[in-house]
Structure 1
Amino acid sequence: MTTETAQTQLVSHPWQRWGWLAGGVWLLFLAFPVTMILERHAGGGQRALGLVLVALFAVVYALGFVRLFRSDYPVPGAWPLLVVLVALIGGVATVIGTDAMAMAPFAVAWVAWSQPWPRGGWYAAGLTALGLLVLALAPGDDGVYLLPLLLVLGFSALMRVFDTFTERQAEIGEALAVVAERERVARDVHDVLGHSLTAISVKAELASRMLEVDQTRAARELAEVQELARDALAEIRSTVAGLRATRIEDELETARETLTASGITPEVVGDPDDVGVAQRIVLAWAVREAVTNVIRHSRASRCRIALGPRSLVVTDDGVGATGPEGNGLRGLRERVSASGGTVTSGPGPDGRGHELRVEL
């Protein structure tokens, strides 16, 4: 696969391809410093310099938001890009003076969005305070850029809070789904065993009383106890096997649907019926966690799920691991380790993307 092809696959998801427009649309407001440069009675060289600097500012800002929507937090190269933006604002200021502060809200927005929350909010507030200090010290400034700075800071903070709240709500929803699944399994087991164990208890007690007065009846009751115990054991085995088989099949089907809905092409290899009964719950859990990570963090266009009798390998063509290991993967490691297995995570076979491998 060529680099160009890999890049095309990487940005196949609409939000990854066009999400930068959410920040780039505000570049229309650079019309204000452009107008000021053109209206100033400066030499042609100064006007050309100012226009070039504004154009470079727009390009750097747009490229930053392209990277923002294709990376995890913190965005790689966020601080060098901020330095470039501030330097360009300073360069424009040599042409139009403090009117170059019309470009400062862009730098504030970049800081707020390129860093994890709430750290990004504090950095944006600090940059806003610095901009306000510049305005306060500038001779003859009428404070016209005070409101835009504060509005951009407030809007960025509000959107980041909403974004963080949405992510945490999704995590809580997943945790509640796990609790609900555990409760459902507990109810199923209770329904299967409750009646049988009650009958066994009653008949065993009756048989113990009949041993001295009616051994024939006692023997009959004990035989029924044995039969009930065998039936109960068969039912619980059938129930547990059914739960496990349903879970891994359901997880694979859900994986296909959610990956497709996220713009990621799924490929599933292997038959769930070949998976050992004792391994199905753990591997089903691994499928769920691996696919969740692919959707949330990989920015991938393809995902391959290879299922074996005692193994699972999930590979994507995304950006690879870009941050510390999350709670979900740590929990999966603990669960697999308790089953005597191992989890390995790293780059894909060709050095691109990411691969999660579970061996039991």
Structure 2
Amino acid sequence: MDVPKGQPQPVSRKWRLTGWLLAAVWLFFLNVPLGTALGQAEPWRKWLGIGTLVAFGVAYVLLFEWARAHRQAGRPIPRGRAAASLLGLLALGLVGIPGTGADWMTTLVFVATAGVFLLPAVWALVVVVLAALTPLVAGYLVPGWSGVSGVFFAVLLASFAMFGVAALAQRNGELRAAQREISRLAVAEERARTARDLHDILGHSLTVVAIKAELAGRLVEVDPSRAVAEIAEVEQLARAALADVRGTVGAYRGVRLADELAGARSALTAAGITADLPAELPELPAERDTLFGWAVREGVTNVVRHSGARHCTIRVEPDAVEVSDDGRGPTAQAEAAGHGLVGLRERAQRLDATVSVGRRPQGRGFVLRVGLPAGAR
């Protein structure tokens, strides 16, 4: 099932159950005040103590799970609601004093741990200190409550443990957020790659198809046999473009420099541009051969579309490829068609290569050059 963008990933049923158990297992420590309530001789004290402890336990578990859900989803816990919830827990503990006696202070352990899980570190520390000092102060001020000093240590130990639980929940939430971001970026990168490849493939192929179709139209009356040959090539180009699109979508398409040079010769000839191409090619690593193939495709496409040139030269060296013409050079129209150059630069960056475009140093014309740093292999 797809998850909408920005929404938390679904949590498995096993982990949801684990979260509930993690909160509920702490309720075991309410057995001391519960035993005190069950031992009350007066029914109203007994049931008041039991009722407040049950309400306290349910409220604590729900509060813990609510806070955990916020942390896992990467959402901030509202401070107002957190403070109100802590005061509610404290009030339930205080209301149960007639039934639980001095043992009500066991609930302070839960108030302290909830504060750690709900509040920022500074405020959580304040809650823990107050909860830890309350048994000591109450034991000194209230006769008969001196035997609960052990709650002081219980508050400190439980709060320390909850700091670890809170940190773990926070890190899990951050990890889930990072995983969602990685997934989003991966999808965006794949879409960009597909869009770039389709632009480069269709831009070149459709340009050649348009030129050959125009040439065939001019030859219909003066040279029908050649017009038929050009139309046949248009059909072959269209089928090849369709195969390239399918290959790109399937992520298995490759580009070879030799094939691109052959296609460049055909495209330039159909456009009436004299092609000066290398007779032999140097041995190139596979990745460099592919990059140079893309450079030839992009350069020739721009020459045919925008240059108005009569002559185009392609030079291939072990560490560079260059496409130049004697046309009018860069124009506003050529700059507007810069999507292919963007894609070419992205490909070049993977090999630490550079892409330079502009006017030729001598005379009229435009030059596209892709070069690798000196010493690259």
TM-score by length of 2: 0.41
- Decide which structure has the larger Cα Rg and report it: 2
Return the structure number with greater relative CO, CA threshold 8 A, min gap 6.
1
TM-score by length of 1: 0.42
